[in-house]
Amino acid sequence: MISAYTGTQIREAEKPFLADGVGAVLMQRAAYGLANTVVHELRGRGRRLYGSSVAVLAGKGNNGGDGLFAAALLARRGLRATALLTAGAAHEAGLAEFRRAGGHVLALTADNIAELAAAAAGADVVIDAVLGTGAQGGLRGPAGALLERLAQTHPGLVVACDIPSGLDADTGEVNEPVLPADVTVTFGAAKAGLLADPGADFAGSVHVVPIGMEAALPEPALRRLEAQDLHRLRPQPVRRSHKYTRGVLGVVAGSERYPGAAVLACRGALAAGAGMVRYLGPPDVADLVRESCPEVVCGQGSSAEAHVQAWVLGPGVDESAGDQLQRIRDAAATGLPVVADAGALPALPRILAPHQILTPHIGELAALLAGYGVESDRARLEGATLAAARRGAALTGATVLLKGATTLVAAPGGTVFSQSEATPWMATAGSGDVLAGVLGALLAQLSGSATMDHVPRGDRWAAIAAMAASLHGRAGAMASAGGPVTATAVARAIPEVIRHM
Ligand SMILES: NC(=O)C1=CN([C@@H]2O[C@H](COP(=O)(O)OP(=O)(O)OC[C@H]3O[C@@H](n4cnc5c(N)ncnc54)[C@H](OP(=O)(O)O)[C@@H]3O)[C@@H](O)[C@H]2O)[C@@H](O)CC1
Ligand SMILES: [K+]
């Protein structure tokens, strides 16, 4: 499990160390980790250290200090090092060490932006150490102009020191201009803003460097499940399991207009190991489901009488499908765990509960929030996905799984998970229907399972939703293998991912 924190949490945790006078030691560890990552990345690209060049963009705070100490270490290993001081002043000890190591220093002014941008663009490595967790808003003045120019020139390897400058470490919101990094080396622990969009777009791969203050960290602001967590939490049939104890899932999905959504939700559910899937819907759609997935038990009855452990509600259901909306209402009233996709939202009560998991994409979330009287245009939410997901959960009382390049799961109690295993090829019709089916199958199998005892009670529903997102993302990445992928292929790859967990 990756735990991520706000910049504020990290700074609070660092305070006792600073009071004890070991701030400089923490900075040395940070610089060492940063320099080592640069060495590793250069070698990974087949580059020799001797003769390579590094430009460090150094602000006046401790972030700049980290960058200067790291660049000094690199200079001592044979790199040609240049420091571009973006704020007139610089971290004193860091700058002194950089000069001792033979580094060349240039000061940025309003008059030499183009010249310095060209110098940085020509370096093999650019270290962005302008702003870290102490930043207030976006880059100001010449530093902003410098980074804007650099971003347009696509420089060599860009390594962000702690966070890409201009990114909000707490929220992932971006104050342009921000120089997109290939790698972010972050200190003490991951920052939440690196694991939520749009921040994640600018962070590249994230390396965490421990600096010795980790034991002082509080509860994380955000978590990410990794392969070993999926292994630990996954449903495991035992010797005497039968289809009913494995977990029966009810699916209310599909309409005359969108019959395929019902098929895809059922495929996702079967692939993720539901003991049995019961489908309820119009006869034509049921025929299609039966033909495509003969394992599914189809019917036209009421959801109030179906014996299931969880429900998937809404994929492909449009507002004209009156019977389906009634089934959705009845299913939601059973009190069982529910996955509610977009089509189900109009039929649900206003006040929901954590075991009711909504799965909107950003546009649907904007509409949902508007329904609660919150003015929210889509572009604004896209710029602040973490806040948007939290807001959705807090307003509805439900767990909100916000689909996107990074999928966020927010529980009404405040817990947030972030998963990003998916590939952009998965932005394809039907992908979300498969995800709803996968999540439903996990709910049916895990809602009463002892494996969830590992997870604090308040986090369980969100953890199951995060597992589904991870499983779905991994299956998509596997099926895509770098090329186009259909929703059916994503579903087909799920058993393979579970097998290898
Ligand atoms: N604490 C520790 O022990 C450790 C900390 N570590 C490192 O320290 C980093 C945090 O350092 P920090 O607190 O010095 O803040 P930092 O991000 O460098 O910037 C603040 C400076 O920038 C300025 N400034 C602010 N906003 C601005 C803007 N929009 N545009 C332009 N300028 C702006 C502001 O000046 P002001 O404007 O307030 O006068 C201030 O001088 C952290 O990310 C990590 O890398 C590690 O070494 C581990 C040990
Ligand atoms: K930075």
Q: Which two tokens stand for residue 194?
A: 């690196």
**C-beta of 211 in contact with ligand 1 (< 6 A):** yes
Question: 466: domain CATH number?
Answer: 3.40.1190.20
Asked if residue 244 has pLDDT above 90, the reply is no
Give distance in angstroms: CA of 55 to centre of ligand 2.
Answer: 13
For residues 374 and 317, membership in a common domain is answered with yes
Q: Is residue 14 lining ligand 1, measured as CB closer than 6 Å?
A: yes
CB atoms near residue 44 (< 10 Å): 9
Which amino acid, one-letter code, is at 280? Answer: L
Binding residues for AMP: 403-407, 432
Residue 237 CB–ligand 1 contact under 6 Å? no
Indicate whether 205 and 166 sit together in one domain: yes
Indicate if 210 and 239 belong to the same structural domain. no
- Residue nearest atom 11 of ligand 1, based on CA coordinates: 62
Q: CA-CA distance, 423 to 425, in Å (whole number)? A: 5
Angle between helical axes of 259-271 and 431-446 (0-180°, round to 10): 40
pLDDT at position 469 over 90 = yes
Question: Over 90: is that where the pLDDT of 201 sits?
Answer: yes
Q: What is the pLDDT of residues 355-397, one digit of tens each?
A: 999 999 999 999 999 999 998 899 999 999 999 999 999 999 9
Percent of the chain with pLDDT over 90: 90
Q: How many Å apart are CA 222 and CA 146, to the nearest integer?
A: 32
Assign 237 a pLDDT band (cuts: 50, 70, 90): confident
Shared domain check, 264 and 409: yes
Output the pLDDT for position 132: 97
Distance, in Å, from the CA atom of 457 to the CA atom of 468, rounded to the nearest integer, reads 18
What's the average model confidence in pLDDT over 394-415? 97
Are 217 and 14 in contact by the 8 Å Cβ rule? The answer is no
What interface predicted TM-score (ipTM) does this complex get? 0.97
Report the separation in Å between the CA atom of 91 and the middle of ligand 2, taken as the mean of its atom positions. Answer: 14
pTM of the full structure:
0.96
Q: What is the pLDDT of residue 216?
A: 94
Residue closest to 119 by CA, chosen among 85, 167, 91? 85
Tell me what the pLDDT averaged over the chain comes to.
95
- Quote the pLDDT of residue 375: 83
Task: Please report, for the domain that includes residue 214, its CATH number.
Answer: 3.40.50.10260
Residues 308, 414, single domain; the answer is yes
Alpha carbon distance 67, 91 (integer Å)? 10
Annotated binding site for (6S)-NADPHX: 62-66, 132-138, 162, 261, 316, 361, 433
Report pLDDT digits (tens) over 119-157.
999 999 999 999 999 998 899 899 999 999 999 997 889
- Residue 453 in this model has a pLDDT that exceeds 90: no
What confidence score (pLDDT) does residue 493 get?
98
DSSP assignment string, 72-118: HHHHHTT-EEEEEESBSB--HHHHHHHHHTT-EEEE--TTSHHHHHH
- Asked if 164 and 238 sit in the same domain, the reply is no
* Residue 164 CB–ligand 1 contact under 6 Å: no
The last residue of a domain, from among 224, 248, 272 = 224
What is the pLDDT, as a whole number, of residue 280? 97
Q: Are residues 231 and 118 in the same domain?
A: no
pLDDT at 342 over 90: no
Tell me how far CA of residue 192 lies from CA of 6, 142, 187, 360, 420, in angstroms.
5, 28, 12, 21, 13
Q: Which domain range does residue 39 map to?
A: 2-224
Binding residue numbers: 62-66, 128, 132-138, 162, 165, 261, 316, 361, 403-407, 432-433
**Is the C-beta atom of 168 inside 6 A of ligand 1?**
no
Please count the other Cβ atoms lying within 10 Å of the Cβ belonging to residue 490.
Answer: 31
Q: Are 365 and 402 in contact (CB under 8 A)?
A: yes
Are residues 65 and 18 part of one domain? yes
d(CA 132, ligand 2 centre) in Å: 5
Ligand 1 in reach of 139 Cβ (< 6 A): yes
pLDDT of residue 240: 86
**Binning pLDDT at 50, 70 and 90, where does residue 497 land?**
very high
199 and 232, same domain (yes or no): no
With beta carbons less than 8 A apart as the criterion, state whether 363 and 382 touch.
Answer: no
